């Protein structure tokens, strides 16, 4: 390899320091993948000093090391706070090597000092039982991005940059990663980045040519085509190319200096009123060989610069003397004795480029967002309460009511700006539009007279990419801010996997004392399965909850508020919580309000409870329990109860509503779980329980299978029957309607079937009548649409029943 040159903004001496830093990081990376002992190669390498299992990814690592060294230099020179997001997070050795070199690692983990013993520890622990993961994991200082699942780097980086006006987030995008859908969509993120009030993202496309076993598409595009693509995405790319024989230190330094200057220029213009729409942000395209500086050839096959370098280039080091010698030569090619003191500490001169204190990439507080987290200023949620003179005595659209509260959350947290609402084009459809009274929908591109509510500095983030919404929000939260993602219930599945990764991140972070708690990821699912009036079957899928409950109980919470006041109370709780994923399922359609605010708070505090006003068991042992979770199931259970109370007045019915789904699990399984005694007090064993649930019925069985009463639980829920039809036809299609629930009660309560045969038949007939009526008239039976919970004499007037409005 030829020596570096010293032109451009870099002196020869600075280039030499950069190169020494890079060599040191490369040495430490190879050491992590291979060595258990002899970290400084003070003696010839022995097979016993090699790890028995060689795990990790070399291919991407030297490029990452190169970028890290250069970012460190640029931060020092410009005094610019920066953060790094590493898309190919499998290059964990790079982040570990560099944080160790710069000292940030040892500050977090004093047991890994910057000396020979520390270096040995650093090497041994990597991908080793009891050690640290091979990826840029939560354990890695300076990271908000694991990178194991590829595709989310740019959206995370933008989430970090929003409302962080001084921060530049350098984002390494793998050329393979760039083929993923989420990454492809997230190139548009800068179109939502306001140079006046946000920070900036500097994408560095890492064109090392290959993925695991294939070329990367972007690396094989003709240069002009790649350039046109990136320009089309709104970037102004600079190209830096390195080869086996040429290390482009000067070019990279110049590219970074120019990019930072350009970013500051764009921001200065925007912040002094000289900004223009259509900003072209800089980016760097770094074309270097995969496995750069590693073995050129192994066993006669080309290695450096090929896909073969992706993981571990030399695989038989313990058993093949040739491989052992090649590894030793490779390690010694970095000339460790020039880089480390005899005691193992890095030479002071190669650390000359490391910026001080919190400016180090491994120490930036932005990557440990809990350090910067401020409690939201929250309005008193009780002031948004809807009046409920008696259960069912008022009707409201729960998400619309919530919208008023969120408007004020938005307003109260406009300085500092640390609350945003995210969603794929559905804020208005989900009836949260009140927020638009105080902020706009972020939009940096041109506008037309027909556009409404768009604003460059808006804090409602709408892009039709659930991946991008989720990634933005995760980046925003992990850097110490707050937010809410509102999404159609069926399409939240698009981010199933991203939710997985975030839940894993939280699970690990919670056990790292140095990582301070971050605001919870709040997901509001509305436009739910039961009320997809416009859309039908494709939009009917309540399965996200099933997916969520697979994750570690300590980080997941699921709420099914049955009405507006309970939704307000739940949301207030979620916005105050830390380190969870809160999933809240709530309807947007007109829905009876069951609880006044005091009752709602009490019910939400309990999480699950007997609704004595609906029950007819007089507080004694019930003949049957009707359980419900979710707004539509609650409505159907109450309507069924009304029929039972009228038709079978001596039947003792108990109504139990569950708002916090995790209450159903045993307390040994979930922190919110009920003890068996509590559960039995609600659902006494030996009594039939007919449970109407918002989602797929089997989940209730999963959650309760250990309960004494499990044998007695019969669940109704969504069983994948649906289409574009009336609201009540949906519940009928899934046998969760009030009439079927009454039939279920008659069938399950011992002795009832013999004396309630007539009622049962009436229920069957009413279902048939419903079917005929809807097919004839296109709407639900009047007795269904006009049903309301019996009102006390003082409120004998039927509550107002706005006709449900179909909505998108």
Ligand X SMILES: Cc1ncc(C[n+]2csc(CCOP(=O)(O)OP(=O)(O)O)c2C)c(N)n1
Residues that bind ligand X (CB under 6 A): 59-60, 88, 90, 148-151, 174-177, 180, 206, 208, 210-212, 216, 290, 310
Which partner, Mg ion, ligand X, none, binds residue 150 by CB below 5 to 8 Å per kind? ligand X
| Candidates 37-45, 166-174, 257-265, 349-357; binding stretch for Mg ion (CB under 5 A) | 166-174
Q: Which is nearer to Mg ion, 286 or 353 (CB)?
A: 286
Rounded CA separation 26/336 (Å): 10
CA torsion 730-735-741-745 (nearest 10°) is: 180
CA-based torsion, 740, 745, 751, 756: positive or negative:
negative
Listed residue (267, 292, 300, 297) closest to 282, CA to CA: 267
Which partner, ligand X, Mg ion, none, binds residue 98 by CB below 5 to 8 Å per kind? none
235-241 and 200-207 strand pairing: unpaired
Q: Which is nearer to Mg ion, 112 or 226 (CB)?
A: 226
Q: Which is nearer to ligand X, 60 or 439 (CB)?
A: 60
CA distances for 360 relative to 74, 210, 357, angstroms: 11, 30, 6
Tell me how far, at minimum, the Cβ of 290 lies from Mg ion, in Å. Answer: 6
Q: Which is nearer to ligand X, 149 or 708 (CB)?
A: 149
Query: Structure tokens of 606?
Result: 């309990």
Tell me how far, at minimum, the Cβ of 494 lies from ligand X, in Å. Answer: 14
CB-based contact 576:379 (threshold 8 Å): no
CA distances for 23 relative to 40, 123, 349, 473, angstroms: 14, 16, 13, 36
Tell me how far, at minimum, the Cβ of 207 lies from Mg ion, in Å. Answer: 7
Hey, how many other C-beta atoms are within 10 angstroms of the C-beta on 796? 8
Which partner, ligand X, Mg ion, none, binds residue 370 by CB below 5 to 8 Å per kind? none
Tell me how far, at minimum, the Cβ of 252 lies from Mg ion, in Å. Answer: 18
The secondary structure of the chain in percent helix, strand, coil, rounded to multiples of 5, reads 45, 15, 40
Question: Which residues contact residue 331 at a Cβ distance below 8 angstroms, ignoring those fewer than 6 apart?
Answer: 27, 30, 31, 34, 41, 45
Q: Which is nearer to ligand X, 60 or 540 (CB)?
A: 60
Tell me how far, at minimum, the Cβ of 176 lies from ligand X, in Å. Answer: 3
**Which one-letter DSSP state was computed for residue 366?**
G
Q: Which is nearer to ligand X, 151 or 697 (CB)?
A: 151
Which partner, ligand X, Mg ion, none, binds residue 59 by CB below 5 to 8 Å per kind? ligand X
Listed residue (581, 698, 696, 592) closest to 637, CA to CA: 592
Tell me how far, at minimum, the Cβ of 416 lies from Mg ion, in Å. Answer: 38
Which partner, ligand X, Mg ion, none, binds residue 165 by CB below 5 to 8 Å per kind? none
Tell me how far, at minimum, the Cβ of 335 lies from ligand X, in Å. Answer: 26
Q: Which is nearer to ligand X, 148 or 808 (CB)?
A: 148
Tell me how far, at minimum, the Cβ of 69 lies from ligand X, in Å. Answer: 17
Listed residue (369, 360, 354) closest to 156, CA to CA: 369
Residue list 205-234, contact with Mg ion (CB under 5 A): 208, 216
Q: Which is nearer to Mg ion, 91 or 799 (CB)?
A: 91
Q: Which is nearer to Mg ion, 290 or 714 (CB)?
A: 290
Residue list 469-488, contact with Mg ion (CB under 5 A): none
**Which one-letter DSSP state was computed for residue 365?**
G
| Candidates 164-172, 173-181, 351-359, 604-612; binding stretch for Mg ion (CB under 5 A) | 173-181
N- to C-terminal Cα distance for the chain? Answer: 62
Tell me how far, at minimum, the Cβ of 146 lies from Mg ion, in Å. Answer: 17
Rounded CA separation 199/83 (Å): 11
Phi/psi of residue 364, nearest 5 degrees: -60, 130
Q: Which is nearer to ligand X, 288 or 522 (CB)?
A: 288
Tell me how far, at minimum, the Cβ of 771 lies from Mg ion, in Å. Answer: 58
Hey, how many other C-beta atoms are within 10 angstroms of the C-beta on 427? 24
CB-based contact 434:406 (threshold 8 Å): yes
Q: Which is nearer to ligand X, 134 or 616 (CB)?
A: 134
Tell me how far, at minimum, the Cβ of 158 lies from ligand X, in Å. Answer: 19
Query: Structure tokens of 281?
Result: 């942000």
Q: Which is nearer to ligand X, 174 or 393 (CB)?
A: 174
Which partner, Mg ion, ligand X, none, binds residue 729 by CB below 5 to 8 Å per kind? none
Listed residue (292, 340, 336, 372) closest to 81, CA to CA: 372
Tell me how far, at minimum, the Cβ of 128 lies from Mg ion, in Å. Answer: 26
Q: Which is nearer to ligand X, 149 or 676 (CB)?
A: 149
653-658 and 608-610 strand pairing: antiparallel
Q: Which is nearer to ligand X, 180 or 509 (CB)?
A: 180
Q: At CB < 8 A and 24+ separation, what contacts does 49-54 make?
A: 50/317, 50/318, 50/324, 50/327, 51/124, 51/127, 51/128, 52/318, 53/127, 54/312, 54/314, 54/315, 54/317
Which partner, ligand X, Mg ion, none, binds residue 662 by CB below 5 to 8 Å per kind? none
Tell me how far, at minimum, the Cβ of 496 lies from ligand X, in Å. Answer: 12
Q: Which is nearer to Mg ion, 102 or 175 (CB)?
A: 175
**Which one-letter DSSP state was computed for residue 301?**
E
Write the interaction track for Mg ion spanning residues 67-86; mark x where CB under 5 A is met and - where it is not. Answer: --------------------
Which partner, ligand X, Mg ion, none, binds residue 151 by CB below 5 to 8 Å per kind? ligand X
Phi/psi of residue 218, nearest 5 degrees: -60, -30
Q: Is 495 helix (H, G, I), strand (E, B) or coil?
A: helix
Contact status: 175 vs Mg ion (CB under 5 A): yes
Contact status: 153 vs Mg ion (CB under 5 A): no
Write the interaction track for Mg ion spanning residues 189-208; mark x where CB under 5 A is met and - where it is not. Answer: -------------------x
CB-based contact 535:510 (threshold 8 Å): no
| Candidates 176-184, 249-257, 276-284, 367-375; binding stretch for Mg ion (CB under 5 A) | 176-184
Which partner, ligand X, Mg ion, none, binds residue 180 by CB below 5 to 8 Å per kind? ligand X
Q: Which is nearer to ligand X, 88 or 282 (CB)?
A: 88
CB-based contact 91:40 (threshold 8 Å): no
Tell me how far, at minimum, the Cβ of 498 lies from ligand X, in Å. Answer: 10
| Candidates 34-42, 174-182, 327-335, 565-573; binding stretch for Mg ion (CB under 5 A) | 174-182
CA-based torsion, 271, 275, 279, 284: positive or negative:
negative
Which partner, ligand X, Mg ion, none, binds residue 466 by CB below 5 to 8 Å per kind? none
Phi/psi of residue 130, nearest 5 degrees: 80, 0
Instruction: Kindly tell me which residue out of 176, 458, 475, 543 binds Mg ion, with binding defined by CB under 5 A.
Output: 176
Question: Which residues contact residue 748 at a Cβ distance below 8 angstroms, ignoring those fewer than 6 apart?
Answer: 624, 688, 690, 714
How long is the chain? Answer: 808
Count interface residues toward Mg ion (CB under 5 A). Answer: 5
Tell me how far, at minimum, the Cβ of 95 lies from ligand X, in Å. Answer: 13
Query: Structure tokens of 729?
Result: 């036809």
Query: Structure tokens of 760?
Result: 């049962």
**Residue with the closest Cβ to ligand X?**
174
Tell me how far, at minimum, the Cβ of 579 lies from ligand X, in Å. Answer: 25
Residue keyed to tokens 């350039």: 227
Which partner, Mg ion, ligand X, none, binds residue 149 by CB below 5 to 8 Å per kind? ligand X
Say if residue 313 is preceded by a cis peptide, omega within 30 of 0: no
CB-based contact 101:28 (threshold 8 Å): yes
Which residue ranges make up the site for Mg ion (CB under 5 A)? 174-176, 208, 216
């Amino acid at each position: 390899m030829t020596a570096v040159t010293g032109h451009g903004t870099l002196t020869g001496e600075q280039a030499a320091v950069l190169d020494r830093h890079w060599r040191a990081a490369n040495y430490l990376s190879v050491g992590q993948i291979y060595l258990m002992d002899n970290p400084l190669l003070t003696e010839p390498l022995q097979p016993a000093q090699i790890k028995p299992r060689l795990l990790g990814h070399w291919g991407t690592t030297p490029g990452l090391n190169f970028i890290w060294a250069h970012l460190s230099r640029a931060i020092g020179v410009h005094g610019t706070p920066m953060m790094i997001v590493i898309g190919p997070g499998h290059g964990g050795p790079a982040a570990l090597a560099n944080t160790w070199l710069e000292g940030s690692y040892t500050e977090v983990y004093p047991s890994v000092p910057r000396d020979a013993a520390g270096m040995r520890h650093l090497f041994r622990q990597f991908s080793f039982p009891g050690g640290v993961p091979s990826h840029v994991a939560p354990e890695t200082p300076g990271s908000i991005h694991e990178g194991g699942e590829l595709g989310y780097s740019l959206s995370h980086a933008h989430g970090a940059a929003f409302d962080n006006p001084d921060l530049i987030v350098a984002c390494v995008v793998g050329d393979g990663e760039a083929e993923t859908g989420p990454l492809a969509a997230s190139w548009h993120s800068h179109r939502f980045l306001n140079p006046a009030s946000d920070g900036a993202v500097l994408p560095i496309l890492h064109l090392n040519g290959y993925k695991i076993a294939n070329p990367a598409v972007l690396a094989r595009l003709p240069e002009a085509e790649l350039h046109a693509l990136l320009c089309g995405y709104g970037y102004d790319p600079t190209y830096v190319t390195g080869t086996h024989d040429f290390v482009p230190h000067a070019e990279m330094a110049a590219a970074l200096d120019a990019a930072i200057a350009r970013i500051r220029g764009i921001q200065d213009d925007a912040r002094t009123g000289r900004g223009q729409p259509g900003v072209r942000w800089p980016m760097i395209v770094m074309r270097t060989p995969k496995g750069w500086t590693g073995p050129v050839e192994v066993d006669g096959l080309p290695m450096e610069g090929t896909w073969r370098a992706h993981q571990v280039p030399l695989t038989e080091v313990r058993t093949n003397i040739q491989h052992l010698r090649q590894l030793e030569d490779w390690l010694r090619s970095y000339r460790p004795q020039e880089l480390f003191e005899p005691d193992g500490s890095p030479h002071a001169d190669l650390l000359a480029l490391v910026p001080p204190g919190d400016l180090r990439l491994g120490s930036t507080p932005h990557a440990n967002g809990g350090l910067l987290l401020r409690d939201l200023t929250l309005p008193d949620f009780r002031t948004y309460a809807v009046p409920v003179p008696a259960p069912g005595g008022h009707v409201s659209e729960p998400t619309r009511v919530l919208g008023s509260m969120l408007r004020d959350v938005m307003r109260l947290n406009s300085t500092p700006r640390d609350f945003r609402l995210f969603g794929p084009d559905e804020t208005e459809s989900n009836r949260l539009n009140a927020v638009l009274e105080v902020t706009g929908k972020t939009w940096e591109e041109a506008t037309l007279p027909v556009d409404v509510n768009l604003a460059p500095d808006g804090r409602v983030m709408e892009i039709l990419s659930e991946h991008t919404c989720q990634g933005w929000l995760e980046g925003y939260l992990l850097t110490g801010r707050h937010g809410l993602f509102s999404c159609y219930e069926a399409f939240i599945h698009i981010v199933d996997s991203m939710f997985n990764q975030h839940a894993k991140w939280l699970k690990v972070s919670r056990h790292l004392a140095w990582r301070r708690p971050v605001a919870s990821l709040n997901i509001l699912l509305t436009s739910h399965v039961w009320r997809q009036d416009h859309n039908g079957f494709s939009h009917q899928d309540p399965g996200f909850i099933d997916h969520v409950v697979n994750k570690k109980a300590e980080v997941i919470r699921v709420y099914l508020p049955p009405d507006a006041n309970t939704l307000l109370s739940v949301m207030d709780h979620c916005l105050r919580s830390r380190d969870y994923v809160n999933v809240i399922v709530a309807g947007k359609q007109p829905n009876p309000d069951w609880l006044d605010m005091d009752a709602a708070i009490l019910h939400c505090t309990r999480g699950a409870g007997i609704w004595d006003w609906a029950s007819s068991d007089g507080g004694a042992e019930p003949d049957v329990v009707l359980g419900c979770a979710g707004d539509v199931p609650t409505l159907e259970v109450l309507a069924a109860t009304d029929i039972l109370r009228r038709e079978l007045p001596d039947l003792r019915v108990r109504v139990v509503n569950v708002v916090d789904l995790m209450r159903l699990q045993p307390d040994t399984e979930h922190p919110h779980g009920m003890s068996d005694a509590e559960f039995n007090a609600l659902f006494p064993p030996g009594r039939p329980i007919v449970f109407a649930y918002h989602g797929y019925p089997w989940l209730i069985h999963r959650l309760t299978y250990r309960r004494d009463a499990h044998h007695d639980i019969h669940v109704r829920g969504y069983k994948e029957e649906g289409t574009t039809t009336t609201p009540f036809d949906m519940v009928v299609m899934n046998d969760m309607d009030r009439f079927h629930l009454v039939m279920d009660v008659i069938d399950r309560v011992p002795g009832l079937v013999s004396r309630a045969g007539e009622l049962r038949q009436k229920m069957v007939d009413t279902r048939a009548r419903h079917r005929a009526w809807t097919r004839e008239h296109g709407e639900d039976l009047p007795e269904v649409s006009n049903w309301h919970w019996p009102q006390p004499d003082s409120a004998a007037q039927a509550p107002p029943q706005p006709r449900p409005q179909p909505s998108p």
